[in-house]
Amino acid sequence: MKPKLQTFLFWIVLVGVLILFFASNRNESARVVPFGMLESQVQTGDVRSVEIEGKRIRFRSHGRWYEVHGELTEPLLLELQDIGVEPKYGSFSSDSMFDGSRGIVTIFVISVVIFAVLYFIAKMRAGTGGMDLVKLTKSRAQDATGHNKVTFEDVGGCHEAKELLGDVIDFLKAPQRWTKLGVRLPRGILLEGPPGSGKTHLARAVAGETGAKFYVVAASEFVELFVGVGASRVRDMFETAAKNAPSIIFIDEIDAIGRRRGSGLGGSHDEREQTLNQLLVCMDGFQHDARVVVIAATNRPDILDKALLRAGRFDRRIKMPPLTRADRADILKIHTGKKPLGPDVSVQTVADWTDGMCGADLESLANEAALLAVRRARHESSEPVLRQQDFRDALKPRNEQTRLFDQLDSVLIESTSQLSEPTGRAVVRLQLRDGSSVEGNVLWADATFIKIARTDGSSLLVPKIQVLRLEAAAGTESVARDNVSEDRWSRGRADLG
Amino acid sequence: MDGDDFLQRFMLFIPVLLSLTVHEWAHAFAAYKLGDDTAKLLGRLSLNPLVHMDPIGTFLLPLMGVPFGWAKPVPFNPLRLKGVSMRTGILIVAAAGPISNAVIAIASFAALKVFLSQPDVLGEGGMFLLMFLFQVNVALCLFNLIPIPPLDGSKIVDGLIPDVARPAWEKFCQLGPILLMGLILAPLLLHFSPISWAIQHFIELFPW
């Protein structure tokens, strides 16, 4: 029912009942009439009841009360008794305001009370249960089969990944070729790489190329406030995938749920751990479907649970390698393919300039250059054409400082959030640009400062700009670990020189 | 007469509910007119009593015979106000509630005066209802004007108080909820309700 209509009806009903109730008394106040009327009414036998209070007599006739002043005479009394009316002596009961329409009103009141109670019960239940409970446990995986027009050709670089994924796609398309040699399909493929290296992009390409069903979900979509929801969503997802086998599931940012179990600050990560356990079981538990392949992407492979990474689950780990010059050229060609390039543009030269940048950076570089070209064209009122100078200009704002801080921040975050002792603090060693060095506990860090508490109790505020090198000395996971891998992004050190 | 008593109480609950609805609606309306549509987006800019009902304040208290109650407070975001300073905005929105009740009170008082000379038009019950409506709205208006947080009155004072007196006011505000509790519980302990007393006397001031 429309809210306005509901409101209107509400008021009408409420006010109506109110008026009905209180006005029903309106005619109830006894009307004073001449004594003769009592006599005539008694004679016609219309008097139903009589009440007497002192010198006032009230009688009820034709559904109304009347009042006369005087006294009942003997003949009148006899006549009343003839018609079966016994006069009552005492204070008037008809002073009560409620009569007649009382029945209707009572029914109304009772139904309202019942309605109100039911309404509040329903609201209480809805308040704690939230949405429909059945829907809550359905997996949030989206079916992205053939969704995109992205193919492998649109992904530059990462050849090893493309090869393996190409194999997977082919296996799912035509398994005989592979099963003839007894090749088992890899159950899980983990794409590792820093942000922007093209992991999700590659997944989109797989979705575009494969003939099998492709499901995509972000790991954080499993977790909800209620414990157990994550696990049931995982189950639901695998069930759907198995039902529609062969199929590929892509779990993005798997480090959201795949963290090492039982580590980190605080203990109550039940929900995440339950979800993770369910994932492990579904991938390689007692029952699993061989025709479901899981591809996952992460940029924190170092914190993933070892059980997730063992052979039989995510045993194929593909690193998205830092881009070579040739890779960058390929990617740039892809991104500038649809843009009108001037004759002086050399993709190779731009590839030279962009050492260290990843795929996403290159894409935004091409975009920036195009933007500058359009701006210039507007000023000169000519056709927009990309020139080499546009790329040069687009590279200028690349602020070295922000990149450096990212590295610094990632080490700091790692050190303060992955403490090996839950109540310990991370000890870092900072080397500043002026040659001095600071060592102490990290109290806090924000965008531009780090606060260190030295061993002598004093605290020092260090601007990040002045930091040359930061080394995690104690109290963090990466220091507690025995083997520190050689990856650029999982070392507990940030070299900013 | 027990059934009658409950029935009457229930009937009298309706004007209380409707007065509270108008009060909360007035808050939402004032906010909306000043540029904050938070309440409107949440569906509170409505005269529908269900929207403003609160289990304790709207049901329990009136049905227990207490001649007032409260409704769910209207959500309000002072940052969204346009054209007025934040403090003035809060003042206006807060004042809108008691003002709406005052309007109803004055209207019912006027009606009472008109019909006092001819009581038979409305009948005893009708006059009683009008009187009750008048009393309830006076009560709601005055009660909300009490300058103790979190009542509307405190917000009004907050918007008017000169900077000189600010620190003292803030200190006072901290005691607010406790003071309020005391005021409400006074009838139980002292067998005397300062609120009712004040309201009665205020009503007597009217030009009957």
DSSP structure string for A175-191: THHHHTTTPPPPSEEEE
Q: How far apart are CA B156 and CA B158, in angstroms?
A: 5
Strand A188-192's sheet: what is its strand order?
A: A142-143, A213-218, A247-252, A292-298, A188-192, A316-319
Taking only Cα atoms into account, the Rg of chain B, rounded to an integer number of angstroms, comes to 18
Taking only the tens place, the pLDDT of each residue in A407-438 is 667 666 665 555 555 555 677 888 887 888 88
B58: nearest CA partner in chain A: A116
**Average pLDDT for A67-78:** 79
Q: In this predicted structure, what is the pLDDT of residue A481?
A: 38
Q: Which of A54-58, A384-388, A437-441 has the lowest mean pLDDT?
A: A54-58
Look at residue B126 and give its three-state secondary structure. Answer: helix
Structural contact between residues B30 and B94, judged by C-beta atoms closer than 8 angstroms: no
Q: Which pLDDT band, with edges at 50, 70 and 90, does A260 fall under?
A: low
Q: Which amino acid does the sequence have at A154? A: D
Q: What fold does the segment set A142-319 form as a domain?
A: Rossmann fold (3.40.50)
**Average pLDDT for A184-195:** 83
Query: Which carries the bigger pLDDT value, residue A50 or residue B26?
Result: B26
Q: Which residues of B touch A14 (CB under 8 A)?
A: 14, 17-18, 49
Look at residue B47 and give its three-state secondary structure. Answer: coil
Q: Which residues of B touch A26 (CB under 8 A)?
A: 120, 122-126
User: Would the CB atoms of B123 and A23 count as touching at under 8 Å?
Assistant: yes
Catalytic residues of B: 24
Query: Which carries the bigger pLDDT value, residue B196 or residue A134?
Result: B196
Q: Which of A55-64, A378-387, A433-442 has the lowest mean pLDDT?
A: A55-64
Q: Which of A11, A21, A114 to mutate to test the interface with B (most CBs of B within 10 A)?
A: A21
Query: Which carries the bigger pLDDT value, residue B182 or residue A248?
Result: A248
Q: How far apart are CA A74 and CA A87, in angstroms?
A: 12
Q: Which amino acid does the sequence have at A402? A: T
Query: Which carries the bigger pLDDT value, residue A261 or residue A419?
Result: A261
**Average pLDDT for A173-193:** 83
Query: Which carries the bigger pLDDT value, residue A53 or residue B122?
Result: A53
**Average pLDDT for A359-373:** 86
Q: Which amino acid does the sequence have at B129? A: L
Q: In this predicted structure, what is the pLDDT of residue B1?
A: 37
Q: In this predicted structure, what is the pLDDT of residue B101?
A: 92
Q: Which of A69-83, A176-190, A470-484, B100-114 has the highest mean pLDDT?
A: B100-114
User: Would the CB atoms of A21 and B125 count as touching at under 8 Å?
Assistant: yes
Q: Which pLDDT band, with edges at 50, 70 and 90, does A496 fall under?
A: very low
Distance of CA A179 to the CA centre of its chain: 42
Upper half-sphere CA count for residue B60 (Cβ side, 13 Å): 5
Q: Which of A4, A17, A26, A108 to mutate to test the interface with B (most CBs of B within 10 A)?
A: A26
Structural contact between residues A164 and A316, judged by C-beta atoms closer than 8 angstroms: yes
Distance of CA A128 to the CA centre of its chain: 17
**Structural domain range at position B195:** 2-204
Q: In this predicted structure, what is the pLDDT of residue B103?
A: 93
Q: In this predicted structure, what is the pLDDT of residue A235?
A: 84
Strands A64-69 and A56-61: antiparallel
* pTM, 2 dp: 0.42
Q: How far apart are CA B139 and CA B15, in angstroms?
A: 13
* CA distances in angstroms from A246 to A181, A216, A282, A283, B120, listed in the order given: 19, 15, 15, 14, 85
Pick the CATH number of A400-495 from 2.30.30.100, 3.30.70.100, 1.10.1060.10, 1.10.357.10: 2.30.30.100
Residue A81: CB partners within 8 Å, gap ≥ 6?
Answer: none
Report the CATH number of the A325-395 domain. Answer: 1.10.8.60
Q: Which of A299-313, A358-372, A396-410 has the highest mean pLDDT?
A: A358-372
Query: Which carries the bigger pLDDT value, residue A204 or residue A285?
Result: A204
Give the pair of three-digit tokens for residue A328: 């960058």
B43: nearest CA partner in chain A: A3
**Average pLDDT for A128-136:** 52
Nearest CA to A270 out of A236, A305, A225, A237 is that of A225
Q: A142 - beta bridge partners? A: A216
Taking only Cα atoms into account, the Rg of chain A, rounded to an integer number of angstroms, comes to 42
Instruction: Look up tokens 């987006």; give the residue.
Output: B41
Torsion of CA A438, A444, A447, A448, to 10 degrees: -30
Domain ranges of chain A: 11-95, 102-130, 142-319, 325-395, 400-495
pLDDT of residue A488 exceeding 70, the answer is no
pLDDT of residue A168 exceeding 80, the answer is yes
Instruction: Look up tokens 């009688």; give the residue.
Output: A59
Q: In this predicted structure, what is the pLDDT of residue A141?
A: 74
Query: Which carries the bigger pLDDT value, residue A456 or residue A225?
Result: A456
Residues of chain B falling short of pLDDT 70? 1-6, 56, 61-69, 118-124, 187-192
% of chain A residues with pLDDT over 70 = 71
Q: In this predicted structure, what is the pLDDT of residue A265?
A: 52
Report the CATH number of the A11-95 domain. Answer: 3.30.720.210
% of chain A residues with pLDDT over 90 = 0
Structural contact between residues B111 and B91, judged by C-beta atoms closer than 8 angstroms: no
How far is A109 from chain B, CA to nearest CA, in Å? Answer: 8
Which residues does A contribute to its contact with B (CB < 8 Å)?
3-4, 6-7, 10-11, 14-15, 17-19, 21-29, 96-98, 102, 105-106, 109, 113, 116, 119-120
User: Would the CB atoms of B123 and A106 count as touching at under 8 Å?
Assistant: no
Q: In this predicted structure, what is the pLDDT of residue B100?
A: 93
Q: Which residues of A touch B120 (CB under 8 A)?
A: 26, 29
Nearest CA to A92 out of A52, A47, A48 is that of A52
Query: What is the number of structural domains in chain B?
Result: 1
Q: Which pLDDT band, with edges at 50, 70 and 90, does A398 fall under?
A: low
pLDDT of residue A46 exceeding 50, the answer is yes
Nearest CA to A173 out of A136, A142, A210, A221 is that of A210
Structural contact between residues A285 and A241, judged by C-beta atoms closer than 8 angstroms: no
Question: Which of A15, A26, A109 is the closest to B7 by Cβ?
Answer: A109
Nearest CA to A61 out of A78, A82, A83, A77 is that of A83
Q: Which residues of A touch B43 (CB under 8 A)?
A: 3
Q: What is the mean pLDDT of chain A?
A: 74
Which residues does B contribute to its contact with A (CB < 8 Å)?
1, 3-4, 7-8, 10-11, 14-15, 17-18, 43, 46-50, 55, 59, 120, 122-126, 128-129
Q: Which amino acid does the sequence have at A478? A: S
Upper half-sphere CA count for residue A304 (Cβ side, 13 Å): 26
